Amino acid sequence: MQLAEHLISKAAEAGAKVIALQELFNTPYFCREMDSRFFEWAEPVPGRTTEQFTALAKKLGVIILLPLFEKKAPGVYFNTMAVIEKEGKLAGIYRKMHIPDDPGFYEKYYFTPGDLGFKVFDTSEGKIGTLICWDQWFPEAARLTAMAGAELLVYPTAIGTLPDEHDTEKAEFLDAWKTIQRSHAIANGCFVAGINRVGEEGGTRFWGNSFICNPFGKIITEADEQEGIITADLDFSQIEKYRQQWPFFRDRRIDEFGALTKRFL
């Protein structure tokens, strides 16, 4: 966590007002395997980690989006993002709604599906929609969050190349990962930020490539596979212009969407 504090401080010095960290930032990505020992890493919210970073947010005068492993009750755990306002107040939490269960991503063993719904936090720096990793593949999640007023969708992420995957597959998955998030920006006329892990853990190579894009899906800034900081100035007043040009919210056939509540037709 010292490294996270150091990088947050550097970002604040560079002028950042909203600072987001990667999924489960303060532990290894333990979901690569199923091991009950990892439940010991979970903590309540508020708790030790949120208290540490609320103090940092107040000291630096920044908003911090803090993803961590939450213990709600014995046997009930969540993949959570805490939203900390710049005066050092815990504004609230979001609990990851979509939980994957795939080789190298055994999250259903650890996490209960989120029980708070899709969230938008009306912060001092704008309306921030909080989503986490697997949520990013579902257009319904982005749409509902944007409908609730989000100007920025933030996706802390842990995704990379598994040991048995080759470079061609990595390139294809990476391209799909960027494409789906950029499409959420376009379809919803809002900004999107994806914050991914980097480095190798247990054979999984997290590919980084964190980025921020505008409401037309144009990438404003992006990282490589190395640890670091990316920043961008976002003008939320532009959102109305984009939505005037592409009025998807106006033209949605909401009278025909009832079947979306079913698995299949």
Catalytic residues: 23, 96, 133
Distance CA 114, CA 52 (A): 24
Distance CA 9, CA 4 (A): 8
Distance CA 24, CA 139 (A): 23
Tokens standing for 175? 């391209």
- Of the candidates 112, 123, 12, 125, which has an alpha carbon nearest to the alpha carbon of residue 60? 12
Yes or no: say if 65 and 18 are a contact pair by the CB < 8 Å rule.
yes
Alpha-carbon dihedral sign for residues 206, 151, 187, 237: negative
- Longest Cα–Cα distance of the chain, Å, equals 53
